[in-house]
Structure 1
């Protein structure tokens, strides 16, 4: 059962005092985050700041956590990774997580398993192919033979097959050619604007992330040190020096 829709103006995702660790190694130290419904929020920071761990903590994926996490007003911090996916959270991990031995179409169909119902799955396949026509051309092709850009498109498409209300994206531009990155970010903007999918974006390219995002948080060593609108962070001198090369 999905949580109720967030009230107008309320955050879709609200995080309070989120801690995370791997074994005895703490990584996150009490994060507070608010993700407005229907907006793109960027999570910025240097390597090792805790960005990827934040996404994993929200999904309870391979990391130990404490703190409060609410989706649409419903507490989810005690839910399993599978339950969180069924409640409407899609995760595109770093490294893409593509099943290389399966075909493109088989990968997409796996994405629909997170949904409560398979009704409309075929229509959603067509919707994904509309965003990513190249995936239709590669439908029968083994995923391991796709280019890096095509695998990234497939990873995003597979997550969208779960009909997420919240999409967690981890470094979607990593290792891709600039033109491919431009295409993918253009499609992510369409998905946000046309479908109202809320997005939490981890992206090393701060300039790219802030161009897409409405709001942003800056992490340093597992703590939020700066937050505000994307425009505010773009104009912050410290962000400009450290992350925008200005």
Structure 2
């Protein structure tokens, strides 16, 4: 059976359409739709819709393709479903869907927080702290670029777990509340709180120690579109 390839370039979408040409053959099978990349797709906040996929029919050929992106809102974090359709020359319609997770992708974390620190981690003493990171007076995650000058308030406890993404990174900090802690650690987030796993270098009375600890930032944070 002879097959040929027709490539269509749509707005925001690269679509490969594989057609077959057999007009006298019975065809009751719907076209097949294949995605390039994972499902779900993760995209940064304020990123316009785009996708790459393949429509395939090796009997009567693809006659038309379309999609439904009405639920996709790149200006708000969340999980959205985009629907895809293809109709062949015999009227059979195939469909598929892909989830898009619009998320905030941060870079450097700094600020003044409420939360707890645990030393040693994970089974040591848990202490609440308030305004414990020295100097910065705002709760800020500095991003690589979203909309210049437009802060976005994020309530961590309201997130679903995958709409806030802070890659692991090294952070230096000082905690001056109940104890004096000076150290560095890696920032991570589970969607409900930020964590810093750190090495405790000094405690009150200038005694040295080398045990592991964890800071948990459990309150809200203002996300600011600024490069730190």
TM-score band w.r.t. shorter chain? under 0.3
More contact order relative to length (CA 8 Å, sep ≥ 6): 1
Higher helix fraction (1 or 2) = 1
TM-score by length of 2: 0.24
Larger Rg: 2
TM-score by length of 1: 0.23
